[in-house]
Amino acid sequence: MKEVLGEEVTILERGALDEYTVQQVMKLERKEGEGLLVTRMRDGTEVKVSHSHVVPGVQKSIEELENEGVELTLILCTGRFPPFKSAKLVVYPSDILRGAVSGAIKRGRLAIIMPGSDQLGSTGTRRTAGADRPYGEEVEVIYDAASPYGPEKEVQQMADRIAKKNVDLVFLNCMGFNSRHKQIVKQKTGKPVIQSNALIARVLKELIS
């Protein structure tokens, strides 16, 4: 994302879990029926937390950053969030990405790759997907998962599975997936791949230029 935005942009980062230790996060309750977010701590440890544990920290971070003079805030996650209170512009990737995917495929098979297998049901459908056809009646959605923070082999195995599904478009639905992951999936499937952080970075570039 820094490569896209350029050196003239100053980036300040805050984490909703900055005040927690890894051990404290591991003990947080996972609430029934609430979606999980996959992220990692400062030492690289992957953790999974419920939305409700993250939202207050995000709001606090926005306020702190705006007090430091930040002109635009990006929610660095593809999950859905409630509107946050802010004096400046706040960008929500989930809305932008959903629009991009909807605009890119009107019929056919769409593969959505989640960062955690426990975000999927036993049949390969997403537990929190909502409607059976979230992208329209003519788009069949296939869900799979691979951690962007784990061994690359996991992404390669996911790409091999997706390559057998005869999909038309692959959406890497996590800000943790990088350009290397995209190339693995693209090479194995031969299909277009939407890399979330790269697309969002280009939208930010347009907003600040």
Inter-residue contact 203 to 91 (CB < 8 Å): yes
For residue 115, what pLDDT is reported?
A: 92
Mean pLDDT of the chain: 89
- What does 109-131 look like in DSSP terms, one character per residue? EEEEEES-GGGB-TTSSBTT--S
Strand-pair category, 139-145 with 108-114: parallel
For residue 190, what pLDDT is reported?
A: 97
Helix residue ranges, H only, the chain: 2-5, 22-26, 51-67, 93-104, 152-163, 179-189, 196-208
Higher pLDDT, 50 or 155: 155
pLDDT band at 122 (very low <50, low <70, confident <90, very high): very low
Residue 129 pLDDT > 70: no
Name which of 88, 89, 86 is nearest 59 in CA terms: 86
pLDDT band at 86 (very low <50, low <70, confident <90, very high): very high
**Facing residues of 118 across strands?**
none
Compute the average pLDDT of residues 171-177. Answer: 96
Does the structural domain 95-197 have CATH classification 3.40.50.1860?
A: yes
For residue 116, what pLDDT is reported?
A: 86
Quick: pLDDT tens for 192-206: 999 999 999 999 999
Q: What are the angstrom distances between the C-alpha of 74 and each of 40, 79, 183, 205, 206?
A: 17, 12, 25, 12, 13
Residue-range domain boundaries for the chain: 2-94+200-208, 95-197
